[in-house]
Amino acid sequence: MTNSKTPKIGVIGGSGLYSIDQIEDVKEIEIDTPFGKTSEKILQGKISGIDVFFLARHGKHHSFLPTEVPYKANIWALKSLGVRWIISASAVGSLQREIKPLDVVIPDQFIDRTHNRPISFFGNGSVAHISIADPFCNNLSKIIFDVASPLMPEGRDLHIGGTYLCMEGPAFSTRAESEFYRSLNCSIIGMTNHSEARLAREAEIAYSTIAMSTDYDCWHEDHDNVTVEMVVSNLRSNAELAAKIICGCVKKIGATEPTSIAHNALEYALLTQKEHVPSETREKLNLLTKKYWGEFSSSEN
């Protein structure tokens, strides 16, 4: 089934990807959200005539720790712009020997090891339980895989599927932690994507990620040979490839927009009856819930 409207696509750039040169007619947008300011001004433009909204996760000068990223504001702002698809690009460490530095992984699962993150827009008098058994949009991940496959440079492999271990940071793992994550059969480790994926699902936005390996995590016997210069060089190379993949994905989604279970994630998730939700909470949630509860009016409560 194809959506008759032109899709709007959000792109969240991680370490090394702070803009995309291929976006045309760019203008900066600053959005006030009920959850504060976004990480950076959103860059609105077009790729092949398709509306694209780019946001640098850590700010264009990389000013936010993973814990400090305003995840709620970022996702809320993209939702307010009509975004239905988010492609995330992220730097990760490899937890498996076969995932080499400069390889690309399209994960299909998460394990959350964070402890100081917003995990829901809900609360404060409103309860919702979304299904996140499959946290990434399968259809979007397939598009990324199909686009990325012919773009992979020689010697760099593309891996479909795998578990992303999301840690709090900002310090990297101890060796014991790294070995523990490997024992859980995790594929890669990062510090941001799980937080975004949960909130995107509550916002009924399809979300998937292009995880770009910069190095092996510290379990690897040669990890001490990894230098900052090597990681920075890999970040630059990954950013160039990520931009090409994202442009191809935008074109493909624009040509025939797929469906996603994420687009109706709240349909059976809202437990609190709207008349029992405090006005302040209803107002904050209106963007997400008006499809089911109707437009909020302060006179209701």
Which of 32, 217, 222, 224 does the annotation list as catalytic?
217
The whole-angstrom separation of Cα 299 and Cα 206 is 33
Enumerate residues 6+ apart whose C-beta is below 8 A from 246: 11, 20, 47, 87, 89, 210
Q: Please name the residue that has the structure tokens 């770009």.
A: 212
The whole-angstrom separation of Cα 276 and Cα 289 is 14
217 as an active site residue: the answer is yes
Return the HEC string of 1-42. Answer: CCCCCCCEEEEEECCCCCCCCCCEEEEEECCCECCECCCCCE
Burial 238-252 (b: 16+ CB within 10 A, else e): bbebbbebbbbbbeb
Which of 25, 32, 146, 215 does the annotation list as catalytic?
215
215 as an active site residue: the answer is yes
Q: Which residues are catalytic?
A: 215, 217
